[in-house]
């Protein structure tokens, strides 16, 4: 079936270090959304990418959509303890109105 691979599963960083999570699909994507879930919380929408090669920034977060629209990344510069949580990508394949979630990357930040 349709799948999306998200890596790594866990990342433990020192505060101030950078962090990146990747989302990969074997199928061309229509768009991709990113969500953040704080411990004990619910997923919260961060951003949506639609265009090939698109790059969007939100303060220390940089989101990128691959040229082939098969992969995406979320990069956090100089992590802070407030960045702790699980980051999910959610993808929509062409000709589909269904979002498929990646398994998430759990980020832990050592103060």
Partner 1 sequence: EAQVTQNPRYLITVTGKKLTVTCSQNMNHEYMSWYRQDPGLGLRQIYYSMNVEVTDKGDVPEGYKVSRKEKRNFPLILESPSPNQTSLYFCASTEGPGGISPLHFGNGTRLTVT
Other C-beta atoms lying within 10 Å of the C-beta of residue 51: 10
Task: Single out the segment in contact with partner 1 by CB under 8 A; choices: 14-22, 39-47, 54-62, 72-80.
Answer: 39-47
Residue 23 touching partner 1 (CB under 8 A): no
Find, among 55, 77, 70, 69, the residue nearest to 25 by Cα: 70
Read off the DSSP letter of residue 84: -
Give yes or no for residue 44 binding partner 1 (CB under 8 A): yes
Does residue 97 interact with partner 1 by CB under 8 A? yes
CB 77 within 8 A of CB 47: no
Residue in 66, 70, 67 with CA at minimum distance from that of residue 92: 70
Could you say whether residue 9 binds partner 1 (CB under 8 A)? yes
* Nearest-approach distance from CB 36 to partner 1, in angstroms: 11
For partner 1, the binding residues in 58-77 under the rule CB under 8 A are: none
Exactly one of 27, 30, 62, 77 binds partner 1 (CB under 8 A); that residue is 30
| Strands laid side by side in the 55-58 sheet | 4-7, 19-25, 71-76, 61-65, 55-58
Residues near partner 1, by CB under 8 A? 6, 9, 30-31, 33, 35, 41-45, 48, 88, 90-92, 96-99, 101-104
């Amino acid at each position: 079936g349709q799948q999306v691979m998200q890596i790594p599963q866990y990342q433990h960083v020192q505060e101030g270090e950078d962090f990146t999570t990747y989302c990969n699909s074997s199928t061309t994507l229509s768009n991709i959304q990113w969500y953040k879930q704080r411990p004990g919380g619910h997923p919260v929408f961060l951003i949506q990418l639609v265009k090939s090669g698109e790059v969007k920034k939100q303060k220390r977060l940089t989101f990128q959509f691959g040229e082939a629209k098969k992969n995406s990344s979320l990069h956090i510069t100089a992590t802070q303890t407030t960045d702790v949580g699980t980051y999910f990508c959610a993808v929509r394949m062409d000709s589909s109105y269904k979002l498929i979630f990646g398994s998430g990357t759990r980020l832990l930040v050592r103060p």
